[in-house]
Amino acid sequence: LTVGVVKETRPGERRVALVPKLVERLTKRGLQVVVEPGAGLRAQLADELYEEAGAHLGEARSSDIVLTVTPPAPADIERLKAGTVLIGFLNPLSNVDGVAAMKKAGIRAFAVESIPRISRAQAMDALSSQANVAGYRAVLLAAQRLPKFFPMLTTAAGTVPPAKALILGVGVAGLQALATAKRLGAQATGYDVRPEVAEQVRSVGAQWLDLGIEAAGEGGYARELTDEERAEQQRRLTEAITGFDVVITTALVPGRPAPKLVTAEAVRGMRPGSVIVDMAGETGGNCELTEPGQDTVAHDVTICSPLNLPAEMPVHASELYARNLTELIELIVDSEGRLALDFSDEIVAGACVAGADEEVN
Ligand code: NAD
């Protein structure tokens, strides 16, 4: 079997789906790795590094298993042969047409977003590995935009108090953002509608903001708030937010538009020079004034909405992602290098978003 690593075509994407240090793990399984020339360049991985690791350079899309970071464009789907096993972020909930095109082309597609978040699948959890990178990066972006120090400083020229950072939504990205803000010396506070998160917030040395609104949903995710709850949450947050220099928002509800947590009125109440980094821009944003993909200034508050933070740190983002994919490949390929798809396995069945009718979840 061949495993192809494509060069990403989405503008701004710098990650690559496999790194040289994992090539050997696949070749040891009897797989041949084919890398599209230049696939790793934007992640500082030259073609020669792949070749030295045992991969060949060539047309990756004609491989039996094709690895990608982002969903293929329609023209790229047409370049895949029927029967291809495609693995990557495929955005199945909103990329409905793309997934239908894959099915029509006879492709078996496995979306890493759909891998069930059970402990056995932790090493394959690409949502988590990339959210970790994004949470870290969001804090660096905030620190750069803030016209103040993050840490407390005591100097001969005076004492500077620490910046106050509020993280709204404490999943994987939010927890990393809290930890990073703490490491940079800010006073960090976390807020979520899942009460069990309070413990995790405290465990990284941050404070827990309790607004008295709970909305735990299924499978460890939050549920969408009712209109009443949302209005109450916005009112309470508008009050709480005035004391913070930095607000990082990460709140998501699977398959739904991002909940609006920060209203225009809340932004107006923030101190001049404050910074909001809205990590939910891709699904509309958590702040009413967010312009997805843009940096804007409103009421002297900078609102940043980066759309692909993991791509800004492609070296480690690619490395972690490649490990996630390698684990998944090892689940679907036997020790002799043959495809061994077991649809009674909830990971295989859960991840499959296009294929024969009986295979797709
Ligand atoms: P996510 O990206 O879906 O959402 C980010 C956070 O936003 C969540 O913590 C959510 O509760 C919060 N949120 C949603 N609506 C909100 C609102 N109106 N107000 C405030 N906060 C709101 O989350 P995620 O990082 O994907 O993590 C989701 C869950 O999955 C967590 O319970 C996490 O521990 C769990 N998880 C499990 C595993 C595993 O067991 N393998 C791996 C990773 C994550």
Interface pTM, i.e. ipTM: 0.95
The CA 280 to ligand 1 mean position distance, Å, reads 12
CA distances from 57 to 7, 10, 26, 52, 77 (A): 11, 21, 15, 11, 20
The CA 98 to ligand 1 mean position distance, Å, reads 26
Please work out whether the CB of residue 226 comes within 6 Å of at least one atom of ligand 1.
no
For ligand 1, atom 26, which residue shows the shortest CA distance? 171
What distance in Å separates the CA atoms of residue 291 and residue 171, rounded to the nearest whole number? 23
Residue 132 has what pLDDT?
98
Residue 255 has what pLDDT?
80
Please work out whether the CB of residue 127 comes within 6 Å of at least one atom of ligand 1.
yes
Residue 361 has what pLDDT?
61
What distance in Å separates the CA atoms of residue 23 and residue 11, rounded to the nearest whole number? 26
Alpha helices, DSSP H, located in 58-171 = 74-78, 96-104, 126-145
The CA 222 to ligand 1 mean position distance, Å, reads 7
Residue 182 has what pLDDT?
98
- Averaged over successive runs of 10 residues, the pLDDT of the chain (361 residues) comes to 97 97 96 98 98 98 97 94 97 93 96 95 97 98 98 97 98 98 98 96 97 89 93 96 97 90 97 98 96 96 97 98 98 95 96 82 61
Atom of ligand 1 nearest to the CA of 131: 25
- Asked if residues 104 and 78 have their Cβ atoms less than 8 Å apart, the reply is no
Other C-beta atoms within 10 Å of 156: how many?
Answer: 4
Alpha helices, DSSP H, located in the chain = 23-27, 47-52, 74-78, 96-104, 126-145, 172-183, 197-203, 227-241, 264-268, 314-332, 346-351
Q: Which residues are catalytic?
A: 117, 122, 125, 128, 221
Residue 360 has what pLDDT?
72
